[in-house]
Amino acid sequence: MTEKFDIEVYDKWRDVYVDAVLIKEPPADEMANAKAHWDNWLSYAGGFYQHYAIKPHAAVPHGHWPWGDYALHAAKSGGAAETYTVVCDDMTQAMMVLTVAGWDCRLPTQKGFAGVYLDLIGTAPWNTRSAVPVPRYTGVGSALMARAVMVSKEMGMKGRLGLHALPGASTWYTQIGMVSLGPDPDPQK
């Protein structure tokens, strides 16, 4: 069931906080459409990237993820997975997929306890620091992370949250308080 939460994000281009909506369980086709829009933006920006000898998808490491497929999987999961988007200015600015059942923590002090697993989280290319000199909206990823922690708390998991970070994102996760456990010996688990 779709739920909406009013939030604010920072528009760096206009130097002002603006209203946005965090949406739980958006229709799968909306996530697929957002992915297509992101891909179109990357294609359009390709000339800029070629000028600087950067491959567009290298600048957006999560650019190849099949968001629509994950959204369909979540919709059919019987509640074991949830999807979220952040929408601002009538465009999807960030997306996230969570597994909310069947994941056990790896942190030694939390071993054996259930937690929420963050399958995917990504921001639109125009909000991704590695893709543009000045991202448009900041705080969209943080809003999704805060929601993931809230989901864990609401489910009685005390905010426990795990993920496998892309290499370039590890620093951000430690900056927001997550603990790096290094490479996972069994990443498929």
What pLDDT, on a 0 to 100 scale, did the predictor assign at position 141? 92
Q: Which residue has the tokens 């600087």?
A: 52
What pLDDT, on a 0 to 100 scale, did the predictor assign at position 56? 53
Running DSSP on this structure, what letter comes out for residue 109? Answer: G
CB 92 within 8 A of CB 20: no
Q: Which two tokens stand for residue 81?
A: 């997975």
Question: What whole-number distance in Å separates Cα of residue 140 and Cα of residue 136?
Answer: 10
Give the closest residue to 104 by CA, choosing from 96, 91, 113. Answer: 113
**Residue-wise pLDDT tens for the chain (189 aa)?**
789 999 999 999 999 999 999 999 998 888 888 888 888 877 776 665 555 555 555 667 777 777 778 888 888 888 899 999 999 999 999 999 998 988 888 888 988 899 999 998 988 988 988 777 888 999 999 999 999 999 999 999 999 998 888 777 778 888 888 888 877 776 655
Instruction: Characterize 106-136 residue by residue with b for buried, 16 or more Cβ atoms within 10 angstroms of its Cβ, and e for exposed.
Output: eeeebeeebbbbbbebbbbbbbbeebbeebb
What pLDDT, on a 0 to 100 scale, did the predictor assign at position 29? 83
